[in-house]
Amino acid sequence: MARSGAAASSPASVTGDGARSDATSLTREQKLELYYFMRLTRSLEERLVNLYRQTKVVGGLFRSLGQEADAVGSAYALDRSKGDMLSPLIRNLGSMLVQGAKPNEIIKQYMAKGDSPTRGRELNIHYGDLERGFIGQISHLGDMVPVMAGVTLSFKMRRQNRVGLVYVGDGATSTGAFHEGINFAAVQRCPLVVIVENNGYAYSTPLRKQTAAKQLVDKAIGYGIAGEQADGNDVIATYEVTKRAVDRARSGGGVTLIELITYRRKGHAEHDNQSYVPAGEIDRWAKENDPIDRYAARLNDEGVGAPELAAIDARVQSEIDEATDEAEASPMPDPTDALVGLYADPPAVAPLWFRQGIKSAVEVHERPASWGTHDV
Amino acid sequence: MARSGAAASSPASVTGDGARSDATSLTREQKLELYYFMRLTRSLEERLVNLYRQTKVVGGLFRSLGQEADAVGSAYALDRSKGDMLSPLIRNLGSMLVQGAKPNEIIKQYMAKGDSPTRGRELNIHYGDLERGFIGQISHLGDMVPVMAGVTLSFKMRRQNRVGLVYVGDGATSTGAFHEGINFAAVQRCPLVVIVENNGYAYSTPLRKQTAAKQLVDKAIGYGIAGEQADGNDVIATYEVTKRAVDRARSGGGVTLIELITYRRKGHAEHDNQSYVPAGEIDRWAKENDPIDRYAARLNDEGVGAPELAAIDARVQSEIDEATDEAEASPMPDPTDALVGLYADPPAVAPLWFRQGIKSAVEVHERPASWGTHDV
Amino acid sequence: MSEITYLEAIREALFEEMERDANVFCLGEDIGAYGGAFKVTEGLMAKYGEERVIDTPISEAAIIGAAAGAAHMGMRPVCEMQFIDFISTGYDMLTNYVATARYRAMLPCPMVVRGPSGGYVRGGPFHSQNPEAAFLHTPGLKIVYPATASDAKGLLKSAIRDDDCVLYFEHKYLYRRIKEEMPSGDHLTPIGKARIAREGRDVSIITYASTVWKALEAAEQVEKEDGLSVEVVDLRTLLPMDDDAITATVKKTNRVLIVHEDTRTGGVAGEITARITENAFEWLDAPILRVTAADVPLPYSPPLEDYVLPQTSDIVLALRKLAAY
Amino acid sequence: MSEITYLEAIREALFEEMERDANVFCLGEDIGAYGGAFKVTEGLMAKYGEERVIDTPISEAAIIGAAAGAAHMGMRPVCEMQFIDFISTGYDMLTNYVATARYRAMLPCPMVVRGPSGGYVRGGPFHSQNPEAAFLHTPGLKIVYPATASDAKGLLKSAIRDDDCVLYFEHKYLYRRIKEEMPSGDHLTPIGKARIAREGRDVSIITYASTVWKALEAAEQVEKEDGLSVEVVDLRTLLPMDDDAITATVKKTNRVLIVHEDTRTGGVAGEITARITENAFEWLDAPILRVTAADVPLPYSPPLEDYVLPQTSDIVLALRKLAAY
Ligand SMILES: Cc1ncc(C[n+]2csc(CCOP(=O)(O)OP(=O)(O)O)c2C)c(N)n1
Ligand SMILES: Cc1ncc(C[n+]2csc(CCOP(=O)(O)OP(=O)(O)O)c2C)c(N)n1
Ligand SMILES: [Mg+2]
Ligand SMILES: [Mg+2]
């Protein structure tokens, strides 16, 4: 395996005891729930691919194939009953599902429906819900780090027992916003976990063109925070390393930077043909290090039979079918809804003079040739 | 001494062999030149204080008292004959003098004269000269790091044997620009030396409110570059550590981050009363760790007699007197020069309609009460 | 009650709002023990502690982003930019994250970003900026820029209570130069409403911030010397713009001069002009004129700064030209 | 010669300029082996190598800052923003460092920042922006925004040769939708000169970029249906603005409609309006009207995006209103 063993390298600056895939306090039920969320993530994305090919998706489609363990395992370490919050990125569909996002919301978002969580304003999984504890990202990479520094600063100021988690990709670690945000949180000892999902690429850019650091976890010491690295394709290891960081944050120990080693098996978005990837690399990860295969094997070893997993798979399928039906039947937004909700006051922007009384701008929506050729 | 011994702590991530104040290949002549530049820096600033008190300085006045060794020793490690370049900050008057800046230029800048290097456009030591190899900074902290990454990238692309040096304060390490710039240079293995002048404060903010890192040199490993720390109040140690980094850069070894431990004995600018500084701290540094006193003692030990140093002091004084006379006699800028030189083409902006044919906007220049109360 | 300066009025607003609402907190560089580069926040940390008056690292993007995050959770952060010129490093955070939060993600973002703005103080190109035009173009933000001490107080208090992000620019030339007795009680200046700084019949000057004072000076001069009656409208809020007040003054005098300290091209005057020609074209008896800074970075040497920035004499010249048209 | 698309024209300009001048190099995210998010730089790295076609980390401020540093030393960098929306994170670097370099420190800064701009492609609020107004306000920059394939090529070549920083916005909706035969030889479009895209007598439309095409469509429609003769001026360069061309068309038709895709308040139309009332007020027979996007972040769902962005039918309506005035 190319890089999945990185957790074992245990650099000087990494605290904790690295991957402990075997030791976990999770119950059997919780373990099956992890499986459920990973399967749901993958199958839901597969459904989106179908819809995309039917040209029912508006805009690009983003996959987290091969990264489901990283997303699900880390989010699972948060305590929803305590009001923990997370800020997902484009590969964190799994994290959002754990936090309570619903498949029909995701499909509606991708189909730009009027009753999608953003009412058709923002694309793909860019949405949030303060109640359920996740915050809608913007495209500008790194920007969510300062925002989550502020979210968790408010936890601290209000003496709340809550923790926040923010994801960044290997590429996003190069942004100024990442740096300013993590440093701010470190100084304030905010209860924040920063997960760097090192999936080897930022769009087409391999890690070595993104940073000269040997490993991204090496950045922790420069911020004076705890740093850990784990195998992001091992859902239990991911859960455990995140859980330690969440506990540390909750008990006043401040920020942890976790580097999860994983691999992006699909292109940046569906249109990307991955011509820049060395031959064989993707296959190797698919064959030797698929997080769901690995986890199913492990569960099997632990006595969970194939029929039990198949039952979960079936449940996932029917949930997705139902969600798809609901999403497809949903209406597109009302054009003039575009004017609503920019400010608390006034509640809507007035239509421009040439649109007074006009309800929609064009009768038929052209589908530009470039649809699907652009990214988040 | 509060923090001057930091060089001895030799953290795991620091390469090289720390402070080697005793071992140096500098000649006697060069050593005296170091003394000259440190003395020139201090005396020139003292002259500026006089001019400031006479309200002849326009705007704030910035001191590097106690940091002369850091500025002079590091800049001295560049090779001007090879076309090395540096980007100074507000505490780097000494670095600029080493690189060829002239006292009369500095005084003219502070007096906003028409024949100052920026013709009255920019304040204090914010100016540069490509010929002599220094680049005019802007106020926005951190921004010079990407710029120097680009300067040194051009050295690399053109197979030139040149090196660049950029200064940042402890405070400026928190900026996104610093992070993006140093990372960019690290990946490109630019021939760049980044000197972090850790003088304990950013304006009124002590280091612990700026970063949670134990030491700033710990940031090096996160960028995959060499890191060294040295006693910035020891001019020889500063020279040596910088020289190693310059040699590394010139021989293709890429970026080095050097943390120089020093102390800002004056306020952020002349108006700052340093009320936030713990009692006794400044005195302690002044008494126990003045870089010029320390260096004079060392030279004395090495056989340089007091008369020889006094002669240098006298030479410095007469150079400054001459420079002051020249600067005082210089004209203020011609008002309409404000319209010249924004673009290469057109060479000047046209005057606005209400100023056609008008040569100056007001007859008498009011001196606002807030002069001197603002910073760079 | 006694008079207080523009700067003291800002400070008073901060004290009152922090006292009134425990969710209000301040963050910025050197605002704590030091009291800020201009001492606006002096005494605040002593009273409200380090947790509600936060000295931050030098990172404007983080200051603004963290404020947004805290605002989502119900806090009411007030960010200080040490000089407003440094807001440029938070430009992305403000225009992309903050301004769109409610619209794209139903995230409330009640926060204020404030800082010393403007020139006439020999501050040079990076300590004299007027960034209002750079943000006028961003739906989702509100922008206020007070010219008087009572508006400085009233607008800041309104801004802190506003449920969206308000950029509050305070003019450093006015900090200690103007004084006023504060209206009694819980003084709020409404956001979005202009103020008639001087009534007049012959020509209108539309302006804001420092140049309100220059406009008033010029108005007085031409009244004395030319017998002209000049109306001066102080916009106070730039976004949303008070179209009613603008249209009303145009209909009254039929001659308009727009004055701002900021550079000319792409400045706020353009937007005002466009609104006037749309809303009151037929009432115009003369071209709309602009007196603004010249289109260069602001140089620091006194003769240069004076030449670049608009002066009272320029306004006088423009008023005469308009009156004679 | 055969026709090439707007996108191919940009690529052709890059190849020609890199061939002509060894100081020209490109830097940006994924522009190398991958050829860029839209494949504008496809083939460039294969031909000129990794040193002259640099895949950078995700750091727009560093890309722009490094370009400036290299430009000081005589290089001619061309920066790609993967989407122009990300230029916001380099806003400080551009407006404070780059734009002032020559003026404050005699530092030459010949560089280009380019990237896919604009909407009509369901890109949502962060992949559809038109940032021209945010920079119009910065003396020291130049801004071009071509509408045709030949201008796309000619302006990029001129921008690369310009001795100052040029922001080059390329409209992604036009990338593959328009084609044109390139003028032969070393084709340069002058910076600062507008283009008459269509001659007319009754009303002038002043516009640029994508809406040039909508303006032409509308012009044709009202010619057919109403017998109106509409002149369409494609500004091409926004900074410096071609006052001569603007004044000339106003004096010819006496009725002006300004159209841009960008949001209304603080958009470029305001500046154009101000210049017209200053330079040609007496020639106006009707108010200057604006057709622009509504003042909201651009939503992504088709019915919403279509509603927010200006459409041909809006221009038709405005032309009729102006003609009837
Ligand atoms: C500031 C900024 N610059 C550029 C982009 C364009 N962009 C979108 S995703 C991406 C690559 C992200 O890579 P990484 O952070 O590793 O996340 P991954 O997609 O691998 O999960 C880029 C360059 C962006 N969104 N934001
Ligand atoms: C981006 C930015 N934010 C704020 C400032 C205001 N400012 C000027 S100097 C300074 C403190 C700098 O501290 P440090 O980097 O440690 O340098 P020192 O003055 O100690 O040498 C601050 C906050 C600035 N110049 N740039
Ligand atoms: Mg990645
Ligand atoms: Mg410092």
Give the per-residue pLDDT at A359: 83
Could you tell me the distance, in angstroms and rounded to a whole number, from the CA of residue B143 to the centre of ligand 2? 11
Residues D29 and D154 both lie in one domain: yes
Can you tell me which atom of ligand 1 is nearest the CA of A62?
19
A209–D55 C-beta distance less than 8 A: yes
Give the per-residue pLDDT at A364: 65
A184–C63 C-beta distance less than 8 A: yes
Testing ligand 2's pocket by substitution, the residue of B141, B143, B274 carrying the most ligand atoms inside 8 A of its CB is B141
Quick check: is C63 in a domain?
yes
Could you tell me the distance, in angstroms and rounded to a whole number, from the CA of residue A178 to the centre of ligand 1? 12
Helices and strands: H and E segment counts in chain A: 12, 7
Contact status of B152 with chain D (Cβ, < 8 Å):
yes
Residues D305-322 have pLDDT tens digits of: 999 999 999 999 999 999
DSSP string covering C22-84: TTEEEEETT-STT--TTSTTTTHHHHHHHHHEEEPPS-HHHHHHHHHHHHHTT-EEEEEPSSG
Ligand 1, atom 20: closest residue by C-alpha = A202
Final residue in a domain of this structure, among C152, C181, C210: C181
Give the per-residue pLDDT at B3: 32
Final residue in a domain of this structure, among C117, C152, C181: C181
Can you tell me which atom of ligand 2 is nearest the CA of B170?
16
Q: How many residues are there in chain A?
A: 376
Residues whose CB is less than 8 angstroms from the CB of residue D157 and which lie 6 or more positions away in sequence, other chains included: D13, D16, D17, D186, D187, D188, D189
Name the minimum distance, in Å, from the CA of A58 to any CA of chain D: 7
**Active site positions of D, annotated:** 127
Element (H, E) at A18: none
Residue C157 · residue C185 · CB < 8 Å = no
D136–C99 C-beta distance less than 8 A: no
Looking only at the bridges linking them, the beta strands covering D76-80 and D24-28 are parallel
A332–D301 C-beta distance less than 8 A: yes
For residue C85, the domain's CATH number is 3.40.50.970
| Residues having CB within 6 Å of any atom of ligand 2 | B 90-91, 139-141, 169-172, 175, 197, 199, 201-203, 264, 268, 375-376; C 29, 58, 60, 82, 86, 89
Could you tell me the distance, in angstroms and rounded to a whole number, from the CA of residue B171 to the centre of ligand 4? 5
DSSP string covering D149-164: HHHHHHHHHHHHHSSS
Residues C225-270 have pLDDT tens digits of: 999 999 999 999 999 999 999 999 999 999 999 999 999 999 999 9
Residues A248-290 have pLDDT tens digits of: 999 999 999 999 999 999 999 989 999 999 999 999 999 999 9
Tokens of B90: 């507000």
Residue of C299, A229, A220 whose CA lies nearest to B349: C299
Residues D147 and D20 both lie in one domain: yes
Residues D8 and D109 both lie in one domain: yes
Which residues of chain C have a CB within 8 Å of the CB of A184?
A: 56-57, 59, 62-63, 66
Name the minimum distance, in Å, from the CA of A265 to any CA of chain C: 29
Compute the distance between CA of residue C320 and CA of residue C315 in angstroms, rounded to an integer: 9
Compute the distance between CA of residue D311 and CA of residue D301 in angstroms, rounded to an integer: 16
Residues D51 and D132 both lie in one domain: yes
Could you tell me the distance, in angstroms and rounded to a whole number, from the CA of residue A235 to the centre of ligand 3? 18
DSSP class of residue C172 equals: T
* pLDDT exceeds 60 at position A363: yes
* pLDDT exceeds 70 at position B373: no
Number of domains in chain D: 2
Ligand 1, atom 13: closest residue by C-alpha = A202
Quick check: is D81 in a domain?
yes
Compute the distance between CA of residue D77 and CA of residue D70 in angstroms, rounded to an integer: 7
Average pLDDT (A137-156) is 98
Give the per-residue pLDDT at A360: 83
Compute the distance between CA of residue B130 and CA of residue B324 in angstroms, rounded to an integer: 25
Domains of chain A from N-terminus onward: 28-329 (3.40.50.970), 335-372 (no CATH)
Name the minimum distance, in Å, from the CA of C217 to any CA of chain D: 24
Quick check: is D80 in a domain?
yes
Quick check: is C188 in a domain?
no
Can you tell me which atom of ligand 1 is nearest the CA of A140?
26
Residues C80 and C7 both lie in one domain: yes
Residues D117 and D199 both lie in one domain: no
Average pLDDT (D173-202) is 97
* pLDDT exceeds 90 at position B375: no
Give the per-residue pLDDT at B232: 98
Q: Which residue of A has its CA nearest to D36?
A: A204
Residues B85-136 have pLDDT tens digits of: 999 999 999 999 999 999 999 999 999 999 999 999 999 999 999 999 999 9
Which residues of chain D have a CB within 8 Å of the CB of B147?
A: 65-66, 68-69, 72, 97
Q: Which residue of D has its CA nearest to B340?
A: D103
CB neighbours of residue D5 within 10 Å: 17
Name the minimum distance, in Å, from the CA of B57 to any CA of chain D: 19
Testing ligand 1's pocket by substitution, the residue of D34, D55, D58, D64 carrying the most ligand atoms inside 8 A of its CB is D58
Residue of C143, C149, C81, C165 whose CA lies nearest to C268: C143
Token look-up 């466009």 returns: C274
Q: First vs last Cα of chain D: how many Å apart?
A: 46
Final residue in a domain of this structure, among C155, C181, C207: C181
CB neighbours of residue D47 within 10 Å: 11
Residues D222 and D111 both lie in one domain: no
DSSP class of residue D57 equals: P
Residues whose CB is less than 8 angstroms from the CB of residue B273 and which lie 6 or more positions away in sequence, other chains included: B267
* pLDDT exceeds 70 at position A12: no
Quick check: is C106 in a domain?
yes
What does pTM read for this prediction?
A: 0.96
How sure is the predictor about A365, in pLDDT bands with cuts at 50, 70 and 90? low
Q: What percent of chain B lies above the pLDDT cut of 90?
A: 87
Which chains contact A through at least 3 pairs of Cβ atoms less than 8 Å apart? B, C, D
A336–D301 C-beta distance less than 8 A: no
Token look-up 């024949």 returns: B115
Give the per-residue pLDDT at D144: 98
Residues D261 and D148 both lie in one domain: no
Tokens of B317: 């004084």
Quick check: is D208 in a domain?
yes
* pLDDT exceeds 70 at position B323: yes
Residues whose CB is less than 8 angstroms from the CB of residue B259 and which lie 6 or more positions away in sequence, other chains included: B196, B198, B215, B216, B217, B227, B228, B229, B230
Nearest to A127 among C25, C102, C105 (CB): C105
Token look-up 């008079």 returns: C3
Residues D216 and D304 both lie in one domain: yes
A180–B174 C-beta distance less than 8 A: yes
Is D127's C-beta closer than 6 angstroms to any atom of ligand 1? no
Residues B155-190 have pLDDT tens digits of: 999 999 999 999 999 999 999 999 999 999 999 999
* pLDDT exceeds 50 at position B372: no
Neighbours of ion ligand 3 (CB under 5 A): A 169-170, 199, 202
Give the per-residue pLDDT at D247: 98
Residues D58-105 have pLDDT tens digits of: 999 999 999 999 999 999 999 999 999 999 999 999 999 999 999 999
Q: Which residue of D has its CA nearest to A173?
A: D58
Token look-up 């990214």 returns: A375
How sure is the predictor about A22, in pLDDT bands with cuts at 50, 70 and 90? low
Ligand 2, atom 19: closest residue by C-alpha = B202
How sure is the predictor about A95, in pLDDT bands with cuts at 50, 70 and 90? very high
Average pLDDT (A68-82) is 98
Interface of A with C in 154-183 (CB under 8 A): 154-155, 157, 176-177, 179-181, 183
Q: Please provide residue B12's backbone torsions phi and psi, each rounded to the nearest 5 degrees.
A: -50, -40
Average pLDDT, chain A: 92
Is A241's C-beta closer than 6 angstroms to any atom of ligand 1? no
Residues D13 and D162 both lie in one domain: yes
Quick check: is C67 in a domain?
yes
Residues D20 and D139 both lie in one domain: yes
Residue B211 amino acid letter = T
Tokens of B210: 């700026």
Compute the distance between CA of residue B374 and CA of residue C38 in angstroms, rounded to an integer: 8
Could you tell me the distance, in angstroms and rounded to a whole number, from the CA of residue A207 to the centre of ligand 3? 8
Q: Please provide residue A226's backbone torsions phi and psi, each rounded to the nearest 5 degrees.
A: -70, 145
For residue D265, the domain's CATH number is 3.40.50.920
**Residue-number span of the structural domain to which C57 is assigned:** 3-181
How sure is the predictor about A361, in pLDDT bands with cuts at 50, 70 and 90? confident
Token look-up 């030189």 returns: B341
Q: Which residue of A has its CA nearest to B211?
A: A187
Active-site residue C72, yes or no?
no
Residues C151 and C201 both lie in one domain: no
Least distant ligand from the CA of C116? 2
Compute the distance between CA of residue C22 and CA of residue C195 in angstroms, rounded to an integer: 31
Residue B88 · residue B140 · CB < 8 Å = no
Average pLDDT, chain B: 92
Residue B107 · residue B47 · CB < 8 Å = yes
Could you tell me the distance, in angstroms and rounded to a whole number, from the CA of residue B175 to the centre of ligand 4? 13
Quick check: is D186 in a domain?
no
* pLDDT exceeds 90 at position D219: yes
Peptide bond into D240 cis (omega under 30): yes
D121–A370 C-beta distance less than 8 A: yes
Enter the ipTM: 0.97
In B147-284, the DSSP E strands lie at 164-169, 192-198, 201-202, 205-206, 226-231, 256-261
Could you tell me the distance, in angstroms and rounded to a whole number, from the CA of residue D99 to the centre of ligand 1? 27
How sure is the predictor about A5, in pLDDT bands with cuts at 50, 70 and 90? very low
